[in-house]
Amino acid sequence: MIESIFEGNKYKFCKSEKGSYWLGVAGSGGLFPGANCVAPSGMWSDLQTAAIEAGHERSEFVTKKKENKPVRSSRKKKSDRPSIAIFK
């Protein structure tokens, strides 16, 4: 678990398959979001910088990219003839 202290408040970095985010752990004042609340995304780079300065590796913050799904072929183009063909 990566924890970072930024402006007197403590945050932890959470990483999952869906993405990553910073949670507030302890503190008060400033931009602290509250305990167990996600920090504003504008602060994430500052929190990451503080964690790297504290000795964590930059590679710990990298999440896996989503796999690209194969693209389906486009449907057959509709003909210019009338779409109702009951009187052929």
- Its pTM stands at 0.62
Residue 86 resides in a domain: no
Taking only the tens place, the pLDDT of each residue in 35-82 is 778 887 788 888 888 888 888 778 777 777 777 788 777 777 766 766
Q: Is residue 68 part of a domain?
A: no
Residue 15 inside a domain? The answer is yes
What is the DSSP annotation of 44-66?
HHHHHHHHHHTT--GGGG--PPP
Q: Which long-range contacts (CB under 8 A, 24 or more apart) does 31-37 make?
A: 31/7
Other CB atoms within 10 A of residue 51 CB = 23
pLDDT value, residue 83: 67
Expressed as residue numbers, the domain containing 56 is: 2-61
The verdict on residue 74 lying in a domain is: no
Is there a contact between 21 and 38 (Cβ–Cβ < 8 Å)? yes
Is 51 inside any structural domain?
yes
Give the count of domains, the chain. 1
32 falls within a domain: yes
Per-residue pLDDT, averaged over 15-29, amounts to 78
Q: Is the confidence at residue 85, as pLDDT, over 70?
A: no
